[in-house]
Amino acid sequence: MTLPVHRGTPPQTPSQTIGPFFAVGLIWPDGPEVVADGTPGAVWIGGQVLDGAGDPVPDALVETWQADGFGRCPTDAEGRWAIRTVKPGPLPAAGGGQAPHLDVSVFARGLLNRVVTRIYFPDEAEANAADPLLASVQDPAARARLVAVADGDRLRFDIHLQGERETPFLAV
């Protein structure tokens, strides 16, 4: 095999699906616990991952990123996932005046690359209204799907991979 010739920067490695058996290698017992129990402001955020037929996706992996924490949770048989975290602090102006949010990756069998979205917080109406990414989503219904919904003392965020209620996914 000849090695690819490239100038300057090496060519990127392509993505492949996580497949159905990632639990063999990617399960962290503490993955959903971004912050310890009892941390001030800690909240469970979760929901279902659903496919284009509205059926649960039982073999997805949801990961959340924020400046000081990483969460990872596989979906269960009903497509449910949840992580316990805290709302990130406000981002400095250099961050573009963004509202607090979590970055989210979803991996699954049938996804040849991850899909990426964001979770915004429902108690940040003013910051959300000024957020440049939210503002760039024209359809108000789609925009609303990027904001978690208060559900008792938890926050609910369903991820619809496809269809009428499709979650807006981001190009990164």
| Residue 77 makes contact with other proteins by CB under 8 A | no
End-to-end CA distance of the chain: 32
Classify the C-alpha dihedral 157-158-159-162 as positive or negative.
Answer: negative
Quick one: 53 or 152, whose CB is closer to other proteins? 53
* Binding residues among 93-122 for other proteins as defined by CB under 8 A: 95-96, 98, 103, 105, 107-115
Residues 78, 58: contact at Cβ < 8 Å?
yes
Q: Burial of 1 by CB count in 10 Å (0-12 exposed, 13-18 middle, 19+ buried)?
A: exposed
Binding mask 23-62 for other proteins (x = CB under 8 A): xxxx-x----------------------xxx-x-x-x---
Q: Which stretch binds other proteins (CB under 8 A): 39-47, 90-98, 122-130, 149-157?
A: 90-98
Of 131, 169, 151, 171, the C-alpha closest to 49 is: 169
Q: Which residues bind other proteins (CB under 8 A)?
A: 1, 4, 6-26, 28, 51-53, 55, 57, 59, 63, 65-70, 95-96, 98, 103, 105, 107-115, 132-133, 136-137, 142, 161-163, 166-172
